[in-house]
Amino acid sequence: MEKLHLHQDKWRDIVFGSVVLFVVIIDQLTKALIRANLALGEVSFDAGIFRIIHIQNTGAAFGIFKDHSLTLIITSIIGIVVILILVFLLRSRWHFLESMWVRVGMALVMGGTIGNNLIDRIRQGYVTDFIDFKIWPAWNVADASITIGVIIIAYRLIFYSGTLKSKV
């Protein structure tokens, strides 16, 4: 039984790392494509309420903390360290962290944080956004990843944390 538990932990760790890497790669590729093919402010596709536009964001979500890249980088590093502690050190203490869904949610948040807040801000001092629904601030793959990850984690916490019997 102990051997099976170790195998499941390794599998969850592989899934975690793979999701983080996938998000970072897709996020960075899409942003590189936008920067290479669109001038700042240029629109490549416009369907009324939705458009693809090249935007540089020096702030965080909804434009808060504009021009505070160092603060956002430090916050991101702290967030990544907290996620790693939760996923690898505290998972045996808080059993809901052993759930594959929670692990995927954490990986989505971490991948988005690395892609958006660390790589972009360290390399460029800003984040490239390009998905714009016009009624909401523009965003990118990393933003979507973070949002989806938080929704998955919240859902699992709200509906399964007290009754979680299976670790899947």
- State how far the Cα of 57 lies from the Cα of 88, in Å rounded to an integer: 32
**Does the residue 166 lie in any domain?**
no
State pLDDT tens for residues 89-107: 887 777 778 888 999 999 9
Q: Reply yes or no on whether 132 is catalytic.
A: no
Higher pLDDT, 149 or 165: 149
* 103-118: pLDDT as tens digits: 999 999 999 999 887 8
User: Residue 99 has which token pair?
Assistant: 């759930």
**Would residue 167 count as lying in a domain?**
no
Catalytic residue (one of 27, 120, 132, 143): 143
Mean of the per-residue pLDDT values of the chain: 87
The reply to whether 30 falls in a domain is yes
Residue 110 lies in a domain: yes
Residues 6 or more apart in contact with residue 162 via CB below 8 angstroms: none
Domain assignment present for residue 168? The answer is no
Q: Domain for residue 76, yes or no?
A: yes
Query: How confident is residue 29, by pLDDT bands cut at 50, 70 and 90?
Result: very high
Containing structural domain, residue 46 = 2-160
Residue 162's pLDDT band (cuts 50, 70, 90): low
Distance of CA 96 to the CA centre of its chain: 20
pTM of the model: 0.86
- Cβ-contact 54, 130 below 8 angstroms: yes
Q: How many domains does the chain have?
A: 1
pLDDT tops 70 at residue 6:
no
Please indicate, yes or no, if residue 165 is contained in any of the structural domains: no
CA dist 130 and 45 (Å) reads 10
Residue range 66-80: average pLDDT?
Answer: 87
**Composition of the chain by helix, strand, coil, percent to 5:** 65, 10, 25
* pLDDT value at residue 161: 61
Q: Is residue 81 part of a domain?
A: yes
Question: Does residue 143 have an active-site annotation?
Answer: yes
